Amino acid sequence: MLQRDSEVDAGRAGGPGQVCGHGIRLVMDPGKGRCVISATRFVRGQTVVVGDVERVVPTRTNHSFQVGWDTHVDLTSPARDINHSCNPNTGIRDNDRGGFDFIALREIVPPEEITWDYETSEYVSIAVPRCLCGEANCRSVIRGFKYRRHDKHWQPTHLARYLGGNQLPGGSDDR
């Protein structure tokens, strides 16, 4: 059961349980923690959330985003509060501020949770060792692009720019 998040900072997210300015809400889910929920309809291709860089972090964390082979950042809320799904309704797109925009992959209607696939930005992921998304196509283990890229059943449409090229770190296909 989703509940209003009384911990949401009113200056950053528009107030507890309220629309965050662009048709989304931050709520608390007892099983997941903070969640981003649609408060309005989004159409395929529409920007749902803009993720600006809050700070560059020296190493990956459970909440950082990998934006380059050796670069991890913390994004602003609500981007940092979007949960993983193996069947996400948003994909990431690098933005001109060094972060990611979250783009609707299909129509999203209220009060659907906004989700994305962590393996589309993380070369090695530590955030969700065991997936609990509950989707029919749940992969159970989220280890990162490095381990998923040869999976014929995984067909992401939105990858972090640094993962989209042919050159893997160190010039090797096995890193």
Tell me the DSSP string of 87-123: S-SEEEEE-TTSSEEEEESS-B-TTPBPEE-GGGT-S
Does residue 170 lie in a domain region? no
CA distance 60 to 69: 11
How confident is the model at residue 91, as a pLDDT? 96
DSSP E strand boundaries for 14-97: 24-29, 33-38, 47-50, 53-57, 65-68, 71-75, 83-84, 90-94
Read off the pTM: 0.83
Does residue 77 lie in a domain region? yes
Mean pLDDT by groups of 10 residues along the chain of 175 residues: 35 44 87 91 97 96 95 96 96 96 97 96 90 91 93 91 68 45
Domain holding 85: CATH number? 2.170.270.10
In which domain, by residue range, is 24 found?
3-164
Total count of domains within the chain: 1
Tracing tokens 């799904």 back to the chain, one arrives at: 85
